[in-house]
Structure 1
Amino acid sequence: MDALAQNFFNPGVIDQVWRFLLGGLAYTLLLSAIVVPLGILSGMLLAVAGNLGARWLRWALVVYVDFFRAFPPLVLLIFIYFGAPFAGLDLPRLGAVAIAFTLTTSSYYGEVFRAGIESVSSRQVEAGRSTGLARLQVMRSIVLPQAIRNMRPDLISNTLEVIKMTSLASVVAVPELLGNARQAQALTYNPTPIVIAACIYLVLLLPVVRLLTLLERRRHAR
């Protein structure tokens, strides 16, 4: 038992690295605060454009969504960060991460919004149009509020995955939580920093998981 504690919950190592890990947590929260709203907004715009746009636009959006859902986000991040200088762009690390992750997450959020929009009865759309509202007004005032209510569990589930995906940012030297934990492990020759980082993720995300479970139960109970 002592050997287990020394290897995975070493108090001396925790005392050495906890400030370093908290600095990584701050970057993880910052990345999440940037990428999640951008992903949600762009995903909603994709879904609305796909629903209201012309046939050619819908097909173009299908290609966009399918491509970025299939393309590995790690490869996309490396391509944007290291390829941008060849196009004359000097992107900061945080900017490259935000662009790469927004492209990826917008495709997933777009599918969530598309399903939510399609869950709203066409009769309600027809009723809104019969009152003289334009298609965009019907979408904004009638369809989207109901769609968001229907898809809240899916939005939360997708957001959980986005927050965990921020750990990929360490590839371009953004000092997020898991990247800092790996550095601390290499310096201390002890896996305790990785365990502590996992515990921080658990404390951060477990309440969100419980909220997701509650919303799913409510949706199935209706």
Structure 2
Amino acid sequence: MSVEQQIDKLLSRMTLQEKIGQMIQTGTFEEADKEKIRMGRIGSVLGVTGADLVNELQRIAVEESRLGIPLLIAGDVIHGYRTTFPIPLAEACSWDMALIEETAAVAAREASAAGIHWILAPMVDIARDPRWGRVAEGAGEDVWLAAAIARARVAGIQRTIGKTVRTWSLAPSTLPATGSLKPEGTITRSMSPSGGSGKRISHRSRRPWKRGPAP
């Protein structure tokens, strides 16, 4: 049976509530969430730390839920996991791609050992408004540098642990590739219309996202 056939078979067995549950991610774990996992009402958990707890939750999902679908464990691994490195903006000042790749690899290895599958990094938005609350998570305002660092970080994350940890380019500005939004303002997830030209969108917003995935 092909993977597609297995997926179709599983979907045919799922109730509407279970399908919705697979799209639910908890931001803060509570003891009551264990029962929701048993009922198939949670598909992903963010911010759970420690292999023991992760293993317990996965056991509940696989052995005690009706369908046995494993949880997708995510983590905000922005500048290290157990080992703390300088914030991404500070690392960008080094212009040392080999070092940046290595710190990403260490963080990914540690996160993988703790049961994390999905790293919410790197953040690749181009930050040109100092009031924006996530400037520290990116590489600054230079497009070329941000693109090079995005490539180095993804290469480091995927090099060390293969396919165990996936990379997602986290961006509060959810559509930087289209130019419909841009990061600016004074709050963490502030977004506003960019009004940018196609050329500016292509050269500023899209390049880091296009360069990020490793070849």
User: What's the TM-score, normalizing by structure 1?
Assistant: 0.28
Q: Which has the higher strand share?
A: 2
Higher relative contact order (CA 8 A, sep 6+): 1
User: What's the TM-score, normalizing by structure 2?
Assistant: 0.28
Looking at CA atoms only, which structure, 1 or 2, has the larger radius of gyration?
1
